[in-house]
Amino acid sequence: MTPPAIASPGTNLPHANAVQTTGVVVEQVELAHDTYRQRIACPEIAQRIVPGQFFMLKPGGSTDPLLGRPFALYDVYRDAAGNVAGFDFGYHVVGKLTGQMRDWQGGEPVELWGPLGNGFPISPVGPLLCVGGGIGYTPFLAVAREAAGVAVYGDPPRTAARQEPRPPGGGVTLLYGVRSRPHRADLSDFDGIPGFRTRIATDDGSEGHHGFVTDLLREELSARPPAAVYCCGPEPMMAAVARICREYGVACWLSLESPMACGFGACFSCVTRVVTNEPPGWDYRRTCIEGPVFRSDALLLGT
Ligand SMILES: Cc1cc2nc3c(=O)[nH]c(=O)nc-3n(C[C@H](O)[C@H](O)[C@H](O)COP(=O)(O)OP(=O)(O)OC[C@H]3O[C@@H](n4cnc5c(N)ncnc54)[C@H](O)[C@@H]3O)c2cc1C
Ligand code: FES
C-alpha cells in the first residue's frame, strides 16, 4: 500500500507536522545480538521529530512487505555544517521487514512517513527514571540528551538547550532490562550525558542485577523518588512498572508498541483501551494518534 498523503504542515490535524518522503540508509551498526542501529538520511523528518515520536518505514520501490512498520527515534545526527541531516533508530530482528533490514547496505532507498504520535512529555526538572526492556531502551537516548540540555528536538524546538547542567540528583537514570549479556546493547552513545547513570538487569544474571528490571525500579523508588517514570518495553513489563509506580504514587508514562498498519489514524489496527468517565468505564483509542505515550493510569493494560 502506498500510504495516502498525510496532512501538510499548517493544518490543525493531529499529524500536521508529518511528511511522507524518501530517505537513504547511511550505515548500520550492530549493537547486540540481532539488534542494530540504523542511520537514515532524511532531514525533513529529523528536523521535526521529538523524543518518543516514531516514523513508519518500508523498503523503497518495493511492495514486500506491503505495509510500513513503526520505529522510534533514537537520535538525530548533523552534517559537517551542523545542520540536522537525518536520524538513527535501533531495531531488533523479529520478522519480515527487520529480517530484510539487517542486510541493507548504505545507499538503500526507503519510504518514510512521520514524525508520528505524541512523544514523551518534556522531562520534569527533578530526577527522571527511564525503564527500558529489550529494544525499548532506544527512545531514552534522545530523552536523556534533551533532559540534560545537550540537544534540542523539533521544529520549532520544543526546549531551549540549557547552558547549565541539571542540579545534582536531577539527572536521568536508565534502568535497562535484557535477557542476558549478549542481548545487552552497547550503551556508549549515552556516554558523557551530564547527570546520566544506568543500571542493568539480566534475567540470567550474566550482567548487573540478576532478575527483572522491576526489582531495580523498586530499589530506586525507595531510595530517591523521581519526578516521573518513563517506560518502554514488552507489555507485561510495562504493566508491572505501572502497578509499582501506582503503589509508590509516582507519575508514570508508557510508550506502547501496538502493531500498526498506517501510523496516522486511518486503519484502527493499533487501538488500546483507556479509562473513561462514561459507562462501561473504558473505550478504545488509537495508539498512533493519541499515543504511543500514555499516562499509565489512563490505560487498561492486560485486563
Ligand atoms: C510506536 C512504535 C515504535 C516502535 N519502535 C521500535 C523500535 O524503535 N525498534 C524496534 O525494533 N521495534 C520497534 N517497534 C516494534 C516494530 O514496529 C516491530 O518489531 C516491527 O513492526 C516488526 O516488523 P517485522 O516486519 O520485522 O515483523 P513482522 O513480520 O511484521 O512480525 C513478526 C512478529 O512480530 C509481531 N509484531 C509485529 N509488530 C509488533 C509489535 N509492534 N509489537 C509486538 N509484536 C509485534 C508479529 O505479530 C509477529 O509475530 C515499535 C512499534 C511501535 C508501535
Ligand atoms: S495504525 Fe492505523 S489507525 Fe493507528
User: Nearest-CA neighbor of 113 among 3, 241, 33, 196?
Assistant: 3
Rounded mean pLDDT, 222-233: 96
Per-residue pLDDT at 6 exceeds 70: no
Give, for ligand 1, the residue of 45, 71, 231 to mutate: max count of ligand atoms closer than 8 Å to Cβ.
71
DSSP β-bridge partners for residue 129: 173, 229
When mean pLDDT is compared across 120-134, 147-161, 215-229, the lowest value belongs to 147-161
Rounded mean pLDDT, 220-243: 96
Query: What domains lie within the chain, and their CATH numbers?
Result: 19-116 (2.40.30.10), 128-298 (3.40.50.80)
Q: Model's pTM, two decimal places?
A: 0.93
pLDDT of residue 200: 98
Taking the CA of 235 as reference, the closest ligand is 1
pLDDT of residue 170: 72
Sign of CA dihedral 127, 151, 290, 212: negative
Q: Whose CA is nearest to atom 9 of ligand 1?
A: 91
Contacts of 285 (CB under 8 A, 6+ apart): 271, 272, 273, 274, 291
Axis crossing angle, helix 235-248 with helix 213-223, rounded to the nearest 10: 20
Nearest ligand 2 atom to the CA of 270 is: 4
Per-residue pLDDT at 175 exceeds 80: yes
What's the CA-to-centroid distance between 213 and ligand 2, angstroms? 30
DSSP characters over 127-168: -EEEEEEGGGGTHHHHHHHHHTTS---TTTTSSPPPSSPPPT
pLDDT of residue 182: 94
The three grid cell numbers given for residue 188, joined into one nine-digit string: 556508549
Strand order in the sheet with 172-178: 209-210, 197-202, 172-178, 128-133, 228-232, 252-255, 293-295
Answer whether 71 contacts ligand 1 (Cβ < 6 A): yes
Residues 113 and 262: their CA atoms lie apart, in Å, by 9
Torsion (CA) 267, 273, 278, 279 in degrees, nearest 10: 110
